[in-house]
Structure 1
Amino acid sequence: MATKGLSEASSSRSKSKYEVFLSFRGEDTRKNFTDHLYATLLSAGVNTFRDDDELARGKDISSELLKAIQESKVSLLVFSKGYASSRWCLNELVNIINCKNTIGQIVIPIFYDVDPSHVRNQTGSFAKAFAKHEERFEADTEMIKSWRTALTEAADLSGWDLQNVADGHESKFIQKIVEDVLRKVNRSYLHVATHPVAIESRVRRVMEFLSIGSDEVRIMGIYGMGGVGKTTVAKAVYNSVCDGFQFDGSSFLSDIKDNSKQPNGLASVQRQLLSDILNLKSVSIDNVDRGINLIQERLRYRRVFIVLDDVDDSTQLNSLVGDRKWFGLGSRIIVTTRDERLLTELEVDESYKVEELNPEESTQLFSWHAFRRPNPKDGYFQLSKSVVDHVQGLPLALEVLGSYLFKRSQLEWENVVEKLRQIPHDRIQKKLRISFDGLDDQMKAIFLDIACFFIGMDKEYVMKILDGCGFFPEIGVSVLLERSLITIDQHDHKLKMHDLLRDMGREIVREVSPYLIGKRSRLWLHQDVVNVLQTHMGTKAVEGLSLDVSARSEDVIVSTEAFAKMTFLRLLKINSVRFTSGCYEKFSKELRWLCWHACPLQVLPPNLHLDNLVVLDLRFSNFNKVWKETKFLHKLKILDLSYSLYLAETPDFARLPSLETLQLEGCRSLIKVHQSIGSLERLVCLNLAACKNIRELPDSVCNLRSLETLNLSGCSKLCSFPEHLGKLEALKNLSANGSAIT
């Protein structure tokens, strides 16, 4: 070791990681080249470990030297004519190539007065050296084979060819080599997180998906709701890759959604991509089409690593990574987005959904920001738990609220926790609202309806209501799912929404009219609704209203006049609400959903407008008859009269042509089903479970050609099926346990 001994190296290494390991054969002529290269690296501020085969020649490589190789970011291999004659150099090379393949060390070969093909194929001077090795180490064929493999792999890497270089030009090449090294070791690392809780496991998962060792071009997506940590994970992965794996260039393109909206924004993002990878100060791109051509021309033979952060439009993807053929073999591309659909369009190889933190991780992250320690301070545990429970594992909210509560008194904490229950934190809402703002008007309406009224309800039930409102829910709900604004429980198919997204949606409704409650589009808070109904302050702005007093001790009685001004009301839930005598004609003619559990009436008022109704949900009602005269409800798809204990007979179904679901479960006074049931050509589900007094079904049931589900379980007096039940060709589910059928 001519310039730096192992003891000095060990001392230096304890302070900082080596950036470059310089490997060469010291006995070769024109050694001043490596001296000059080494000195130039040092003068450029590159911490370099130099090995020139002068220490312990012929012996095994020491553990300290192995450590120096492993902990360097870059290995510079100077191949000279006599390189292969050194067993030391060859063993060192095997270890360097192993580091390249296992930890992604960057390896740069320099072919100094030697043809790269001689190194690759072990010909020329390398053939002579190997002839001697094979004679000397005849018994160790595996070692010889490992040397040859390492030489071949190293020669295939992108490097520098310095053959027949005139003395005066050697220094220019050295300067270029050092500049190349500087670009590789001085990659700017991205700030990931002040307190990186639970990031490591997520990074490991993404790294598995990337499969960096394979040669194909792979694209993967990272998606999830706003504030869940997609960008944080992508930054951490980017840093991990840049810290070792050998790419010809890398680029992290942040905030693409916002940046692409600036004047000539996409062209600017293309410029940054090429500038990052090609290490150019500026790239001339006048328009997006020119940028596409340049990306294809300049990157098609380069192994690159690219992160496209916060993409929200396919145009952005098509302008930056439109085709895998634009990039060299082994390239890796990560796309982060809130919209899973974009990843489908891009045909990514893998998709990774970033989930919310679990309670333990949430408490830890919140505590780091609120207390600068991994757990809450004494006296703050319950308050901390209230915040953590409220935000349900969303990292953005945990960080924002933790920082906001840092060094505040318990009284201030209590005030903040109480406020959060009513009004979401502004910074959190702005971040979450980005996804909402990207929706069209109908999709926004669907989101707000779900946020205010339908969380926890069966998906198909809600879809029928939304369809009746003219909202095209098939595509609307699909988009909400793709953008992680809602989820559907895989077990019971109920709609779910993160509490903070729910709060965000409800705040959007509230902020339209903060002080005049009756001018909001949707009303769901108990006291707000009671106040509006009792003061008759509702307006035509109100589209939906929910009041459920079934679990409350209070008795809410209102006048039908309270609905007179709500002419555009389409969603109405009034469980256990009673009305003073009044004219039900005041109810909106636009009603699509009427949910009136525990309705106190014995029959529906004849002047109640039901013409546009899609779902009539009257469970637990006092009806002995649903309506006196046959109703023509041509849009009604769901009629639910379950547990109406006094209902003696079903209504006439002759004028309900669209009915798909009829729920009569638990109607224990029901004796017979009206013969007109056979006219329901679209009926899919008929539920008569626990109708204990039904003795027979009308023969017309056999005309229900669309019927898929027939539930007769618990019909203890039902002795037989209709004779032609076999005509029900669509029937999939028949339940009759607990009936009297033998």
Structure 2
Amino acid sequence: MECHMTTEHTAYPIFYDVEPSEVRNQSGAVGEAFAKYEMEEAAGKWRVALKEATDLAGWELKKTTDGHEAKFIQKIVEEVSLELRSISFNIDEKLVGMETRIEDLVPSLGIGCDDVRMIGIKGMGGGGKTTLARAVFDHISFQFEGKSFVENVRENVSSFGLKSLQKQVLSDILNEDVRVSSIYDGKHMMKRMMRDKKVLVVLDDVDHIDQLEALADEHNWFKLGSRIIITTRDEQVLVAHKVELIHDVNLLSDKEAICLFNRYAFGREIPIQEYEELSRQVVRYAAGLPLTIKVLGSFLCGKVELEWIDALERLKMIPLKETLKKLELSYITLEEDYKEMFLDVACIMKGWRKDDAIKALESCGFHARNGLRVLEKKSLITIYHNYNNYKYVGMHDHLEEMGRNIVRRSHPDKPHKHSRLWIHEEIRNVLANDLGRKATRCIRLDTQNSNREFDLKGLRKMKGLGFLSVEAAQRVYRRVYQDSNLVIAPYMYWDCNIVNPEFPNALRYLHITGYPFRSLPVTFHASNLVALEMPGSKIKQLWEGGEQKVLNKLRILDLSYSMVTTLDLRLTPNLETLDLGRCSNFVDLHMPVKCLKLTHVHLSDSSFIRTVDLRLAPNLEELILNFCNSLEKLHMPDRCLNLKYLRLTTLKLRTLDIGLNPNLRELDLGDCRYLEELNMAYECQKLANLNIRHSRLRVLNLGLTPNVERLNLGLCCQLEELHMPVEFLNLKYVNLEGSNLRTLDLRLAPNLEESYLVECNSLEKLHMPRRCLNLRSLTLTNAKLRILDIGHTPNLENLHLAKCYDLIKDLTSCSFDESLEVGPLAELDLGVKSLESCPFHPHNSLSKFQFSCIYDEDPPSLTRKIEMLISLGMCACTNLETFSGRICGLWRLRKLKLEGEETESNIGNIQKEVESSIGGWIVEAILRAIDEESRGKFPNDGDNLRFSGIRGRKLEFPIFNVNDPDRWIMMAERNLFS
């Protein structure tokens, strides 16, 4: 007990076949034994110690495991081990962010679950995989009957063979020296000897499936409860071994990186003040990679400021060897074609859209899709989504640095001998001095904003050049009008002068934005060309003098934003992708022969083309003809089995027969304002998005499109008949704004989420599903409905029934009762001439609703009922002429809509009334859609609201309580509609 009194010791009493009371009082068997030592000098101290021991938390055999000694001992061992772990497991103070990473990983291990689990930890070299695995191992290993941590599997297999690692695992787990005669023998030994022990095994830095088959082949090798942790740079190894739980190692955050660097550079978490900015520069260079941070921190420790500055400048030119050596291990194991693809990404394509990178790599003869997948699984590249939801190819800065170093290191001062060129000044020097060599395979030249002349004559000596990308123009945006609508349209701006283009005939991929010539040079045979991309060029025809060269290998042709007028597809018999978008002078696409490989055609914004005949392109997958304002005839193939996307907005078509398209997913005919007939004679089972907005259709049969999810027929003002499928199970959104339908049956669309039926002036009957669990919004205005049954809609948030006068007169016909639950409405908009009673059933839990009720009149008889609605957390709007200050005094008022034609003075009086009647509120207004002659100024605080020249009919401004920021938004939008 004396030891227990010190801060470094803990005592646990064990009551073995005795009760604590016997020990405390020295009675019973304990008393008999103690009596023998009664005369000892220390007996008094013993007596006190025994009493103190009984006050400590401990274990009593009889009460702990019902007297079962073996279980009793096991319980004690487990409890003591837990305490020892909490004492001994202290994460190395130089490790940063490890506790969080351990907490993220441990739940996946499912400690205590009665199964065998294999867990993978993957990431790039130097990213902290081994460190994390070691920390987790130390954290949980006490809970297992056997444990083994096998470091550097890849390296040790190369040096000592798999047999030695099998021996290590068996010896660690069995706590004895084990002999293994062969790999085959080792596998049988492991299966036989480990199945009786719950084990924890870590296999670190695995790079081949053979290693896993030899060290942890099957789950049945291990006893239930065992855990196998595998670290690797190559995810494919884990996938091949059917490891289902794969954990990505996150690089360090900026805060963690700074902390780790400070510990290595200064021996503390806070840097020396004069080194703060330099420390941030180092951390930026490391880009979250722990290995680099540790190496640089150790290297810079104790150095003076000038040495720090010199080291940082050197890093800009010469990469850190320790980091590159570690990272290059992943590169060395790649097959040759994957190595080339990795170097292409590092030097040329980092940050490209994935589809563009695939296109360029395939043009150069690579199997790009599989190659990028391999590089991604080996943690050499990343595929990420940008804000526009496209996939992009990414790469850590040090991997990019490593790849570029591999290209440059053989001839660091002779760029003309490099396989890839990407540095502006080096390319300029090579071309200007005519130093081109066969060694050069790829060039990417960005001349934007250089305002300098570039002579491309030097390219002629680069006989091995297969990839050339030159950015000589910028894509900028300007405001233009299309059909009286203002849109933001891109166009090309030339800012570089290219002269003497002499392209080598080995070129497979040629991309030049802003090519300043009217044709390709006659010396360029282009016999190997697979992709020709010249967006924004001044090309009018491919070859000077009308010469015709057949480009048998050409698969991709992009002349968008160019001056080309016609194109004869006889010259490109194997073309797959054609982009002539925004070629404002284009008039004729000539297709006299079958184009069996043509899959993608983009002809948008070709203002003068009148006819497009694609009957000889039966394998189309995507056709885009948006904004071809003069296009009157479109001939489609009778059978187009691969067509997925058909986008034909703003054309002059009157009829369209889309033929047999069983794989069509999207049909967009928006703003085809002359379209009178759409023939869909065959099933389109996969059609999910159908937009025929603003057409002249009178009848539409959707019986063969049962899986449409979004249906937009807005502003089809002549639409009188709409034939629905037998079931419309996938329909989520329907827009029939302005249609002339009398009846709409949506009973077989139970998954509807939003229905927009604005200005359906002829609509007399609307049949909704009996149960519509996902419906959030129903907007219905100016309809002739007398009865509305919205069924069971527990998630309904917005119900707008403005100006449905016949319906509002008898709202008792609407199903708002308890049996058909209505969801937590955020807003209900009712436009009526008068309302004599509360429209909802009294038992429908009104407190959960927030309603906006618009009235054209404010009869005196409504006064009390309006105030009742407001007091329940709703709000009311009334005509400005009869507006009363009584509304302003209601403290639960949440939203106020004022509608009418008012003078400036009337609106000003209302504003004063609101401000004087409601304390603690902010009224704010934002002017939005007002014609040029009308102006209005709105203050931010509501103290001095001023109006000037307002002609609008509706002013809307919510009012929010500033004293309750958690419940209400502080800033509110107010609209003035002209």
Please give the range of the TM-score, normalised by the shorter of the 2 chains: 0.7 to 0.9
Q: 1:720 aligns with which of 611, 632, 635?
A: 632
Partner of 1:688: 603
Whether the aligned pair in 1 keeps the contact of 2:601 and 2:623 (CA below 8 Å) is: yes
Q: Deviations over 1:289-316 (max 9, x none)?
A: 2211221221111111000000001111
Residues of 1 paired with 2:10 and 2:358: CA distance?
Answer: 59
Cα shift readout 1:586-616 (whole Å, capped 9, x = no counterpart): x332211111111111111122132212221
Q: For residue 267 of structure 1, report the CA deviation from its aligned partner.
A: 1.1
- Give the letter aligned to residue 274 of structure 1: L
User: What is the one-letter code of the residue matched to 2:139?
Assistant: S
Structure 2 CA distance for aligned equivalents of residues 231 and 21 of structure 1: 40
Distance 1:653 1:278, change over 3 A: same
Q: Report the 3-state secondary structure (helix = DSSP H, G, I; strand = E; otherwise coil) of the residue aligned with 1:546.
A: strand
In 2, Cα distance between the equivalents of 1:262 and 1:21? 51
**Is 1:527 paired with 2:425?**
yes
Match for 2:104: what amino acid? R
Residue 557 of structure 1 is matched in structure 2 by 454
Tell me what 1:643 maps to. 561
Mapped partners of 1:214, 1:456: distance in 2? 43
1:262 paired with 2:155, answer: no
Residue 667 (structure 1) shift:
1.9
Contact 1:464–1:614 (Cα < 8 Å) also in 2: no
Bigger strand fraction: 2
Contact conserved, 1:678 with 1:704, CA < 8 A, in 2? no
Shift of 1:571: 1.0
Q: Contact conserved, 1:190 with 1:235, CA < 8 A, in 2?
A: no
The answer on 1:394 being equivalent to 2:309 is no
2:557 partner SS: strand
Q: Is 1:566 matched up with 2:462?
A: yes
**Alignment check: 8 A CA contact 1:681 1:704 kept:** yes
How far, CA to CA, are the matches of 2:73 and 2:16 in structure 1?
Answer: 18
Aligned counterparts of 1:513 and 1:405: Cα–Cα separation in 2: 30
Partner amino acid for 2:553? K
> 2:172 maps to which residue?
276
Aligned equivalents of 1:197 and 1:214: distance in 2?
A: 30
1:89 pairs, out of 58, 61, 64, with: 61
- CA change 1:152–1:487 in 2 (3 A) is farther
Counterpart-to-counterpart distance in 2, 1:260 and 1:332: 22
**Is 2:632–2:651's contact at 8 Å kept on the other side of the alignment?**
no
Match of 2:111 in 1: 212
| Normalised TM-score (structure 2) | 0.57
Aligned to 1:346: 241
Judged with a 3 Å threshold, the aligned counterparts in structure 2 of structure 1 residues 401 and 668 are, in CA distance, closer, same or farther, namely: farther
Q: Is the 1:615–1:637 Cα contact (8 Å) retained in structure 2?
A: yes
Aligned to 1:410: 305
The aligned counterpart of 1:419 is: 314
Q: CA deviation at 1:434?
A: 0.7
Specify the alignment match of 1:251 in structure 2.
148
Contact 1:423 1:503 in 2 (8 A): no
* 1:674 counterpart = 2:589: yes
Residue 71 of structure 2 aligns to which amino acid in structure 1?
A
For 1:156-167, what aligned pairs fall within 5 Å after superposition? none
What SS does the corresponding residue of 2:307 show, helix, strand or coil?
Answer: helix
CA RMSD of aligned residues (A): 3.2
Range with greater deviation from structure 2 (730-739 or 271-280): 730-739
**Structure with higher helix content:** 1
Q: Is the 8 A contact 2:455 2:500 kept in 1?
A: no
User: 1:600–1:622: 8 Å Cα contact kept in structure 2?
Assistant: yes
Partners in 1 of 2:269 and 2:375 — Cα distance?
A: 35
- What does 1:570-719 align with in structure 2 at a 5 Å threshold? 570-576=466-472, 578=497, 580-581=499-500, 584=502, 587-627=503-543, 628-644=546-562, 646-647=563-564, 649-670=565-586, 672-676=587-591, 679-691=594-606, 693-699=607-613, 701-715=614-628, 717-719=629-631
Q: 1:156 to 1:668 in 2, by over 3 A?
A: farther
The CA distance in 1 between the partners of 2:624 and 2:306, in whole Å, is 56
| Aligned counterparts, 1:201-600, within 5 A | 201-242=100-141, 244-245=142-143, 247-263=144-160, 265-280=161-176, 282-490=177-385, 491-553=389-451, 555-560=452-457, 562-576=458-472, 578=497, 580-581=499-500, 584=502, 587-600=503-516
Mark the CA change 1:352 to 1:721 in structure 2 (over 3 Å): closer, same or farther: farther
User: Residues 622 and 255 (structure 1 numbering): CA distance in 2 closer, same or farther, change over 3 Å?
Assistant: same
Partners of 1:413 and 1:684 lie apart in 2 by 57
Q: What pairs with 1:49-198 in structure 2 (closer than 5 Å)?
A: 55=50, 62=55, 64-65=56-57, 88-91=60-63, 93=64, 147-148=65-66, 151=68, 154=71, 193=92, 195-198=94-97
Q: How much identity, in percent, do the aligned residues show?
A: 34
Larger Rg: 2
CA gap 1:609/1:512 in 2 versus in 1, 3 angstroms: farther
Query: Is the Cα contact below 8 Å between 2:460 and 2:504 reproduced in 1?
Result: yes
Displacement of 1:23: 6.2
> Secondary structure in 1 aligned to 2:540?
coil
Q: Per-residue deviation at 1:191?
A: 10
The superposition leaves residues 178-213 of structure 1 with CA deviations (integer Å, 9 ceiling, x where unpaired) of xxx99x989xx9997551111111111221011011
Moved more, 718-727 or 538-547: 718-727
> Counterpart of 2:567 in 1: which secondary structure?
coil
Kindly tell me: are residues 723 and 593 of structure 1, through their superposed partners in 2, closer, same or farther at Cα, counting changes over 3 Å?
A: closer
Q: What is the aligned partner in structure 2 of residue 136 from structure 1?
A: none
Structure 2 contact 61–69 (Cα < 8 Å) conserved: no
- Distance in 1, matches of 2:117 and 2:173, equals 18
User: In the aligned structure 2, how far is the partner of 1:377 from the partner of 1:432?
Assistant: 31
Displacement of 1:673 in angstroms is 3.1
Residue 805 of structure 2: aligned partner:
none
Which residue does the alignment assign to 1:77?
none
Give the TM-score, by structure 1 length.
0.74
Structure 1 Cα separation of the partners of residues 552 and 15 of structure 2: 85
Greater relative contact order (Cα < 8 A, sep 6+): 1
Distance 1:617 1:192, change over 3 A: farther
- CA-to-aligned-CA distance 1:601-652 (integer Å, 9 cap, x gap): 11111221322122211111111223233332222222111222x33x1332
Relative distance call for 1:331 and 1:653 in structure 2 (3 A) is same
2:643 paired residue number:
731
CA contact (8 A) 2:89 2:139 kept: no
Gaps in structure 2 of 5+ consecutive residues: 21-45, 473-495, 653-671, 674-978
Residues 462 and 657 of structure 1: is their aligned pair in 2 closer, same or farther, counting only changes over 3 Å? farther
Q: Give the CA deviation at 1:449.
A: 0.7
Paired position in structure 1 for 2:724: none
- Indicate conservation of the 8 Å contact 1:593/1:615, yes or no: yes
- The aligned counterpart of 2:5 is 11
SS, match of residue 250 in structure 1: strand
Equivalent AA in structure 2 for residue 527 of structure 1: E
Shift of 1:430: 0.7
1:15 maps to a residue whose letter is E
Cα distance in 2 for residues equivalent to 1:639 and 1:261:
49
Q: Is the 8 A contact 2:364 2:509 kept in 1?
A: no
Secondary structure, counterpart of 2:211 in structure 1: helix
Q: 1:690/1:363 Cα in 2 relative to 1: closer, same or farther (>3 Å)?
A: farther
Q: Secondary structure at the match of 1:404?
A: helix
Cα offsets for 1:70-122 (capped at 9, x unmatched): xxxxxxxxxxxxxxxxxx3344x3xxxxxxxxxxxxxxxxxxxxxxxxxxxxx
CA deviations 1:470-509 (Å, max 9, x no partner) are 3322332221011111111243112111111111100110
User: How far off its partner does 1:327 sit?
Assistant: 1.3
1:698 aligned partner, one-letter code:
V
> Do the aligned partners of 2:262 and 2:269 also contact (CA within 8 Å) in 1?
yes
